[in-house]
Structure 1
């Protein structure tokens, strides 16, 4: 991971995961409110596509870390007995725990449905391990490297806590939504780390001792949160509009947009009847 590609690859993984989770959340939220169905999203949600994708990405990450640019499968030097390639093994450990989450998703959806509700616990564990590894990942590095990784650690531990709260309170969508938000932030921030440390736009390496750089990184992190909120909001509205435009039917057989209009008209009718009954009751009393 000590390269631009090594940071942007997991960043893309987190961004893709956040987008998929947001599509799922938007779909289920809209489906529950309007009793509408989308065959494609429903099919992908029922099959272990997500779990398989995560396992594949985890395997690619493990093999990529150990094989690029040269094989690094040794944990210690056979001559000196010293540990070697510990950065690589830390990154591989992170991928393994997310791969474990993917395996739980596969087993839960394909073989043991009761296990599926505990998958969020393993997701919380994966985020927690990620945060722990990166907290000690930059020991002895310069201030710039430490600061930019500590902001990533904040997002990782935030996802860990939110995923556990999501497991404890499954009927509260705010925990899931916020966890998706900080997953997206992790993805964009991985890209930020790779850009700042390995491919700065100016072509000039950032000064590790300049306090202004550290202040800017903190400010930029909050911008990443803001932009991620905007992106997730756009995704929600796109999913909603797509389901309306595709004309999904409600149980009554009426298109969603007309059903909403009918419900509104029915509500006004009920209110009108209530007023008439009140007026008649008043006349009887007189």
Structure 2
């Protein structure tokens, strides 16, 4: 991770998950109180429809966490090609490659979180949302701990930049910890989304600050350079909130003008169905029915994959 590519790649991974969250939660919020008119199973009558349903039921987010996490961990030890940093102690008995092993530990914690997702979603009779939330929370606690000690031996500018990353990670830890007991709280979901985007965009920006490809390099001892970093960090917050707002607006316009005939408003009797399920932290995998609060899937489907361990509360087509 101590390279330009090492900051760009996790930044892109975090930000891509954040964009997925934006689209998903905006759609769920706007469709609250609506019900799909046509049953999803009608799509299964064709081969293409069958493939479509199988893809929707595949835990893509969990798979991507494993792919990103394991791939990045291996890159820390074996990139560039021909490199081998698999050992922690050299011939003289001194520690070496500790930075790489810190990054390896961090990436593998997210890969393990992806494995927990798949176990919960595909092997258990009931999906345990709290287990998935706990898995990703532990991954971020590990990340925060390693970021705190990652500052040792670094120049002042790099320390300051990673401290800001540490603050975002600690906020993420707090949100995810609360989500273990309140997995369907929309305020926590939006906070989760913005924080993931903040981590991604800041990592992306750090690559250009610490490893500039062109132009003048930042003086690590210049106090003014250290003072401007928090300003940039705040601008990233505004930027990510703006991106979220634009995605929300695009989903609103799409649903309002292009899919008027796809959904209908739920009757008052149907609206009462969600009251008995509001406090549940497990999803029944068999025979679920839709509720306006989005905690049950339409029909007898098992589409319960969840981007970056966020529970997919509702699936609309």
Task: State the TM bucket, normalised to the shorter chain.
Answer: 0.7 to 0.9
**1:82 matched to 2:102:** no
- Which of 95, 112, 133 is equivalent to 2:107? 95
Residues 37 and 225 of structure 1: CA distance in aligned 2, closer, same or farther (over 3 Å): farther
Q: Count matched residues.
A: 251
Q: 8 Å contact 2:69–2:107 — kept in the other structure? A: yes
Following superposition, the deviation at residue 44 of structure 1 comes to 6.2
**1:54 matched to 2:71:** no
Q: 8 Å contact 1:131–1:153 — kept in the other structure? A: yes
CA distance in 1, matches of 2:149, 2:56: 36
Could you tell me which residue of structure 2 aligns to residue 3 of structure 1? 3
* Paired residue secondary structure (2:94): coil
**1:137 matched to 2:150:** yes
Unaligned runs of 5+ in 1: 254-286
Following superposition, the deviation at residue 168 of structure 1 comes to 1.9
User: Relative contact order (alpha carbons < 8 A, sep ≥ 6): 1 or 2 greater?
Assistant: 2
Following superposition, the deviation at residue 214 of structure 1 comes to 1.1
Following superposition, the deviation at residue 241 of structure 1 comes to 2.7
TM-score between the two structures when normalised by the length of structure 1:
0.81
Could you tell me which residue of structure 1 aligns to residue 29 of structure 2? 29
Question: CA RMSD, aligned part only?
Answer: 2.3
CA distance in 2, matches of 1:247, 1:13: 34
Deviation track 1:66-115 (CA, whole Å, cap 9, x = no partner) reads: 111222111211x2222211111111111111111111111122111333
Could you tell me which residue of structure 2 aligns to residue 224 of structure 1? 236
TM-score between the two structures when normalised by the length of structure 2:
0.73
Residues 195 and 252 of structure 1: CA distance in aligned 2, closer, same or farther (over 3 Å): closer
Report which of the two has the higher share of helix. 1
CA distance in 2, matches of 1:145, 1:53: 29
CA distance in 2, matches of 1:151, 1:243: 37
Following superposition, the deviation at residue 47 of structure 1 comes to 2.7
Q: 8 Å contact 2:37–2:264 — kept in the other structure? A: no
Could you tell me which residue of structure 2 aligns to residue 65 of structure 1? 76
Residues 33 and 252 of structure 1: CA distance in aligned 2, closer, same or farther (over 3 Å): closer
Following superposition, the deviation at residue 25 of structure 1 comes to 1.3
* Paired residue secondary structure (1:218): helix
Could you tell me which residue of structure 1 aligns to residue 209 of structure 2? 196
Unaligned runs of 5+ in 2: 41-48, 267-317
